[in-house]
């Protein structure tokens, strides 16, 4: 039987960057049809297009909390172009893996990042929660 890695547990018990940035440059929110959970991401970008700060809020499960926490840590210091390349596989890998039946929770991270970047690029309609279908 699959067990959560120490990294997942650690991010779950001590999630990094929980909250919401006031006046963010990027903001996105997604919800999952399969489990009904919601994840919101905000980030701040400096004049060199580097992400200086990222925060999340979620109603998701332990895996979603750990995945979002890991994602916000990964984002800091990256350019938006670099951040755009992050996949849910990268998020899961940074946690030492997720149980197969929980990989979809990391998909929320990838999707919300996509939306927050779209907002940053000037598509403000992108802040509404939108249901996604995870595998």
The catalytic residues are: 35, 105
Of 6-14, 29-37, 48-56, 114-122, the segment contacting ligand FES by CB under 6 A is: 29-37
Round to whole Å and give the CA distance between 55 and 53. 7
- Under the criterion CB under 6 A, does residue 2 sit at the interface with ligand FES? no
Q: With binding defined as CB under 6 A, does residue 60 bind ligand FES?
A: yes
Cα 84–chain centre separation: 12
Edge-to-edge strand list for the sheet holding 130-132: 51-58, 38-45, 26-32, 130-132
Q: Which residues bind ligand FES (CB under 6 A)?
A: 32, 34-35, 37, 60-61, 63-64, 104-105, 108, 134
């Amino acid at each position: 039987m699959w067990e959560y890695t120490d990294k997942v547990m650690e991010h779950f018990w001590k999630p990094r960057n929980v909250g919401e940035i006031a006046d963010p440059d990027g903001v996105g929110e997604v919800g999952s049809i399969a489990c009904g959970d919601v994840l919101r991401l905000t980030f701040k970008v400096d004049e060199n297009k580097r992400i200086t700060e990222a925060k999340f809020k979620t109603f998701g499960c332990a895996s979603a909390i750990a995945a979002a926490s890991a994602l916000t840590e990964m984002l800091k210091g990256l350019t938006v172009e670099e951040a755009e390349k992050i996949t849910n596989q990268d998020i899961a890998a940074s946690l030492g893996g997720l149980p197969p039946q929980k990989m979809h929770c990391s998909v929320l991270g990838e999707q919300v990042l996509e939306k927050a970047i779209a907002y940053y690029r000037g598509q403000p309609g992108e802040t509404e929660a939108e249901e996604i279908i995870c595998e």
